[in-house]
Amino acid sequence: ARQPTGRGAPRLVRPAVVHVASGREWRGGQRQVWLLARELQRVGLPNQVVVTGAGTELAFRLRHEGVRVHEARWDAGLDPRVLLPILREARAGAALLHAHDAHAVTLAGLCGMASRIPLVATRRVDFHLRHPGFWRRASRVIAISAAVADILVDDGIDPARVQVVHSGIDLQAAREAEPLGLRDRLGLAPETTLACTVGALVPHKDHVTLLHAARHLAPRFPALHWVIAGDGELRRTLEWLAAELGLAGRVHFLGHVTHALRVIADADVYVMSSREEGLGTSVLDAMARGIPVASTSAGGLPEMLHEG
């Protein structure tokens, strides 16, 4: 990228920060990378670049915000083809590598060793580290909650190098999001009460417990319907379980949604059934709108929800 000088001649803008993020999906982690890079851009750090997967939602959103993106062929988690783009950006004058997920930590860690550029790694999940090597080498490890920080220390990361930085949201976007109109779309009565959740349909989100809760509440609250937005490996299993529990007409699976805020905006109550959760920014989105939250106490969730 080139930026004009006062005399009109272009000069090279060197990447002070090289973000590395696996963007093959659009989930909470990718949203945080987008928000971070966007806000750094807005407060005056234009010399950053994000190395991520080509043609992804993350790459599209970053470009829309004017953030420079180096789109790489990134088909597998530890795709070796990503190493060259990271090294090219690092050697263009970077002061810092910032890895935003486990695969990125390994790839950026290798490039950091080769280029002798400091590595910062962000940990967004409250799972134990399978391969702590490059996490231990990082100059700093950012934990998105105190719960995540505790697990990092348990896994052998020097507590002096662990820094808690809670994930953030766009408050204005959360408050101004236009409801999706789920009652009309699903053919439900206007007085229907909607309990909504947004997240990947994966084991640690524990939608099984959510469905059993729905079964227990069904006789007491005949106007209560449940909306589950998101996709994942357990979708067919969860649809089968909903039918087995007699909830086929009461639980609605939306699949992947691009604008999760519009789903949350329709909720009368937001539910979070996770048994593991780094923080859970969809809860913050609901809180920003004044929507009551019913949640487990997994991971970082109690750091947002406390005193009832």
Mean pLDDT for 66-87 is: 92
Residues sharing a CB contact under 8 Å with residue 172, sequence separation 6 or more, in sequence order: none
Q: Is the pLDDT assigned to residue 94 strictly greater than 80?
A: yes
pLDDT in tens, 46-75: 789 999 999 999 999 999 999 999 999 998
Nearest Cα neighbor of 161 from 131, 124, 135 is: 135
Q: Closest Cα to residue 128, out of 95, 102, 98?
A: 102
Q: What percent of the chain has pLDDT over 70?
A: 94
Residue 230, beta-bridge partner list: 255
- Residue 206's alpha-carbon distances to 59, 87, 145, 266, 271, in angstroms, are 30, 39, 20, 22, 11
What per-residue confidence (pLDDT) applies to 283? 96
- Residue with the two structure tokens 């509440």: 217
Question: Among all chains, which residue has been given the structure tokens 């987008």?
Answer: 34
How does residue 86 score in pLDDT terms, banded at 50, 70 and 90?
Answer: very high
Question: What is the pLDDT at residue 9?
Answer: 44
pLDDT, position 266: 97
Tokens standing for residue 236 = 């067919």
User: Average pLDDT in the 286-299 region?
Assistant: 96
Average pLDDT over residues 112-122: 94
Q: Which residues contact 204 (CB under 8 A, 6 or more apart)?
A: 127, 274, 275, 276, 277
Mean pLDDT of 192-220: 97
Report in angstroms the alpha-carbon separations of 34 from 47, 121, 135, 165, 171: 15, 16, 22, 16, 15
Alpha carbon of residue 227 to chain centroid: 20
pLDDT at residue 10 in the model:
45
Between CA 297 and CA 306, with CA 302 as vertex, the angle to 5 degrees is 115
For residue 104, give Cα distances in angstroms to 20, 96, 117, 201.
6, 14, 15, 23
Confidence band of 76 (pLDDT split at 50, 70, 90): confident
pLDDT digits (tens, 9 = 90+) for 2-58: 444 444 544 455 679 999 998 788 888 999 999 999 999 999 887 899 999 999 999
Q: Are 271 and 295 in contact (CB under 8 A)?
A: yes
Percentage of the chain surpassing pLDDT 90? 84
Classify each residue of 284-303 as buried b or exposed e, where b means 16 or more C-beta atoms within 10 Å of its C-beta.
Answer: bbbbbbebebebbebbbbeb
Question: Average pLDDT of the chain?
Answer: 92
Q: How far is CA 169 from the centre of its chain?
A: 11
In the block, which residue shows the tokens 């290798």? 110
What pTM was estimated for this model as a whole?
0.87
Q: Per-residue pLDDT for 172 more than 80?
A: yes
**Single-letter amino acid, residue 165:** V
Q: Which helix (H) or strand (E) holds 97?
A: strand 96-99
Q: Strand (E) positions, 106-240?
A: 119-123, 140-143, 162-164, 193-198, 224-229
What is the pLDDT at residue 11?
47
Instruction: Report which of residues 15 and 296 the model is more confident about.
Output: 296
**pLDDT at position 3:** 44
Strands 10-12 and 17-20: unpaired
Instruction: Give yes or no for a contact between 119 and 112, defined as CB atoms under 8 angstroms apart.
Output: yes
Q: What letter does residue 179 receive in the DSSP assignment?
A: P
Mean pLDDT across 121-143: 94
pLDDT of residue 46: 78
Cα(51)–Cα(69) distance, integer angstroms: 6
